[in-house]
Structure 1
């Protein structure tokens, strides 16, 4: 990522106007960007983080979280939002957790975003490009933002793990419960469920596929057709 001054122009009914003031903060810079459905833009500790949406494994784990936690949320009258636009209640910085759970009437920031202190749980799936943010930065941010629980699915850890951060305070979460992927992870009241993390192991067993090989198979029988 490169940084530098950005010149913006506005245009009204009278035609183009003079260049607008260049953004001077991370929030102003993000606000000046056009919406791009192919990119995730977040502000984390005053740093603008731009990333692609997840790969197949990442997306599969998110869909499994919806499947596993959806019935729990439904039973309590909550909503489940994958890739939700969130504003942190203490800094108003934008974040996009991989999954969020909260009540139907959770307080909003404008029309399109929900304030963090109105949520019950957020979840992040760690990828190689988000290790620092998901393991270190976001637990502190979500705790200060008033989110009771943060769930971190880490398929790239050795061994893979699932971690629940809970009991938020001014300096971060006070309680951390980590299990190896495959074990049950208890989530306390008001979620009050045991998360079966073995489903994430099955999602992690996909084998990457490359282009089909064009090399001849030495074990294949020789062609028997007419010579050419």
Structure 2
């Protein structure tokens, strides 16, 4: 179900008049031209444009996908590794998680943005440039947007950790389970899976 058309009120060009400039970070995001090789998100009212992930970073996201393939197949769910925009319900801010699990009928905001309240899980892989956003800014953003489970893979922590956040209420995840990378952690419903985080242990290069 498409909730609304994604509007691009203006296209930024060298000739853009100051009076035509977007007023909000969301409007600026909508006005961006195609940015090959870059990803754009709005976090805490900041438009963040960053390079696409390194191979090491992408590998960790794909390891999550690989671990979930039997479950995805059994339940008919979709999964996306770093190539889909998510619209946070409420403020309508766009983010691009490193990994997303969604039902095939997940509602959308416009053509390409999945609505956060329809997702089953998001995952972020922490890198030096994204550490504060992934660890601090994004959990309340996803919780407020109705995402039931967030998985945080943190290969740059000392020691490396994997954290599962769930039970979202009033913009905060009430349950936070953190384990050392290499341990098993429970991902609660709607996923319902014991994840052996040893799958990440051979990929702890700086993402």
| TM-score, length of structure 1 as denominator length | 0.81
Q: What is the aligned length?
A: 197
Distance in 2 (CA, whole Å) between partners of 1:49 and 1:17 is 21
Please report how far the alpha carbon of residue 203 of structure 1 lies from its aligned counterpart in structure 2 after TM superposition: 1.4
In the alignment, what sits opposite 1:54? 53
Deviates more, 1:41-50 or 1:155-164: 41-50
Bigger Rg, which one = 1
Please report how far the alpha carbon of residue 32 of structure 1 lies from its aligned counterpart in structure 2 after TM superposition: 1.2
Deviates more, 1:146-155 or 1:168-177: 168-177
Relative to structure 1, the CA distance from residue 147 to residue 7 in structure 2 (aligned partners, 3 Å threshold; closer, same or farther) is closer
Relative to structure 1, the CA distance from residue 202 to residue 91 in structure 2 (aligned partners, 3 Å threshold; closer, same or farther) is same
In terms of fraction of residues, the more helix-rich structure is: 2
Distance in 2 (CA, whole Å) between partners of 1:79 and 1:8 is 34
Cα pair 1:153 1:163 within 8 Å, conserved: yes
Cα pair 2:85 2:112 within 8 Å, conserved: yes
Relative to structure 1, the CA distance from residue 9 to residue 48 in structure 2 (aligned partners, 3 Å threshold; closer, same or farther) is closer
Cα pair 2:99 2:124 within 8 Å, conserved: yes
Distance in 1 (CA, whole Å) between partners of 2:86 and 2:27 is 16
Distance in 1 (CA, whole Å) between partners of 2:38 and 2:16 is 29
Relative to structure 1, the CA distance from residue 159 to residue 25 in structure 2 (aligned partners, 3 Å threshold; closer, same or farther) is same
Q: Secondary structure at the match of 2:122?
A: strand
Distance in 2 (CA, whole Å) between partners of 1:66 and 1:82 is 7
Relative to structure 1, the CA distance from residue 17 to residue 24 in structure 2 (aligned partners, 3 Å threshold; closer, same or farther) is closer
Relative to structure 1, the CA distance from residue 93 to residue 162 in structure 2 (aligned partners, 3 Å threshold; closer, same or farther) is same
In the alignment, what sits opposite 2:155? 155
Distance in 2 (CA, whole Å) between partners of 1:102 and 1:73 is 10
Encode CA deviations 1:48-102: one digit per residue, 9 max, x unaligned. 1111111121111011111011221221121111122100011100000000001
Structure 1 unmatched runs, 5+: 1-5, 11-15, 207-228
| TM-score, length of structure 2 as denominator length | 0.89
In the alignment, what sits opposite 2:143? 143
In the alignment, what sits opposite 2:118? 118
Distance in 2 (CA, whole Å) between partners of 1:7 and 1:36 is 13
Structure 2 unmatched runs, 5+: 1-9
Root-mean-square deviation over aligned CA pairs = 2.3
Question: Looking at both structures, which has the greater relative contact order when contacts are Cα pairs under 8 Å and sequence separation is at least 6?
Answer: 2
